[in-house]
């Protein structure tokens, strides 16, 4: 049996905020849940789960629904996201490619 994953309160609140924003944007466009689910290629129940702020939906599904509704991701519009990707790659390139576990401290005080 698979163990249930627990999330931090901050993660759960962020997912709820995104779900509420998706529900708000959908209603503002006067789209039904069925219409949006069809456009996103997901089931109605998956969309309901996303709008409720469930942590079971994949991040790709949530971002696709948000994009269909015109919700900005990471505070950036469609044109700005490629620049954010490039910036992220540049910042990552400054760090080591691999991270090794730190050696344990030797207890030599007998």
- pLDDT of 25 > 90? The answer is yes
What domains appear along the chain, each with residue ranges and CATH number?
Answer: 9-93 (1.10.260.40)
pTM of the entire predicted model: 0.81
pLDDT digits (tens, 9 = 90+) for 72-98: 998 888 889 999 999 999 999 999 999
pLDDT at 36 over 70: yes
Residue 110 has pLDDT above 70, yes or no: no
Tally of CB atoms within 10 A around 5: 7
Return d(Cα 23, Cα 17) in angstroms, integer: 10
Mean pLDDT computed over 30-50: 97
pLDDT at 32: 97
pLDDT value of position 78:
86
């Amino acid at each position: 049996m698979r163990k249930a994953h627990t999330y931090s309160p901050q993660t759960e609140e962020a997912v709820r905020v995104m779900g509420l924003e998706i529900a708000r944007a959908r209603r503002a466009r006067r789209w039904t849940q069925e219409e949006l689910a069809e456009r996103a290629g997901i089931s109605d129940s998956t969309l309901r789960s996303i709008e409720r702020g469930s942590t079971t939906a994949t991040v790709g599904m949530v971002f696709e629904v948000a994009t269909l509704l015109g919700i900005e991701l990471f505070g950036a519009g469609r044109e700005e996201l490629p620049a954010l990707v490039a910036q992220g790659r540049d910042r990552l390139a400054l760090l080591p490619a691999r991270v090794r576990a730190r050696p344990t401290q030797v207890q030599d005080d007998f």
